[in-house]
A and B are shown apart, each in its own frame.
Chain A
Amino acid sequence: KQEVTQIPAALSVPEGENLVLNCSFTDSAIYNLQWFRQDPGKGLTSLLLIQSSQREQTSGRLNASLDKSSGRSTLYIAASQPGDSATYLCAAPEVRGNNDMRFGAGTRLTVKP
């Protein structure tokens, strides 16, 4: 059974800083891992999906990596902006191949101008 953990729960950085968000998972037979962003009271916005056969994915200032052997994924945000302030969640399927996603509790990011 897949369990997903995110530490820290909250992070505050000054604008322009590069930062890394962490996500840990327990089952190394992970099928894929998805990173989301959630603004207060809103739904989830998909940022990046990494398949089990991939090591990383990039979209603009975002780069996500996947290390199955260590049970870790990281989301790297370059040159952070105040608009990046949100809660970032990672999720993986509980069982390989199904859509029962297990979510971490999220990291609440604040980027200060």
Chain B
Amino acid sequence: KAGVTQTPRYLIKTRGQQVTLSCSPISGHRSVSWYQQTPGQGLQFLFEYFSETQRNKGNFPGRFSGRQFSNSRSEMNVSTLELGDSALYLCASSSGQGADNEQFFGPGTRLTVL
């Protein structure tokens, strides 16, 4: 069974630009969650999509948005990039709910904002 894939793996952008990251979950999984990881803040939850609907949202500005398609693939968009957006962006795939709901992470996209 293929794991979680994320593209691209590396991105370099300049301040003010926008960026779109993609995540393909494990086949059959309907939930995709996005996280930002930085040395100072650690792993922080951005949002979760389940069956094309945003189910949970973390405490990030509106510049961060996402969507999920009917095949469960998800995209995350960051507009008007700031230097502080430089981070490793990780997505997690899971079946959806339940105490046995194990999260599986992709390799991440390393975003550098210059």
Contacts and interface: CB of A to CB of B under 8 A. Distances in A.
A91 B100 CA distance: 14
Interface in A31-61: 31-32, 34, 36, 41-46, 49, 51-53
Contacts of A105: 42
A39 B86 CA distance: 19
B34 to A, nearest CB: 11
A46 B104 contact: yes
Interface residues of B, number: 30
Given A98-B48, A99-B94, A101-B45, A43 B102 contact: no
B24 interface: no
B56 A89 contact: no
Interface stretch (B14-22, B62-70, B73-81, B105-113): B105-113
A99 B42 contact: no
Helix, strand, loop or mixed for chain B's interface? strand
A67 interface: no
B8 interface: no
A9 to B, nearest CB: 11
Interface of B: 4, 6, 31, 33, 35, 42-43, 45, 48, 50, 55-56, 58, 88, 90, 92, 94, 96-97, 99-108, 110
Interface of A: 31-32, 34, 36, 41-46, 49, 51-53, 89, 91, 94, 97-106
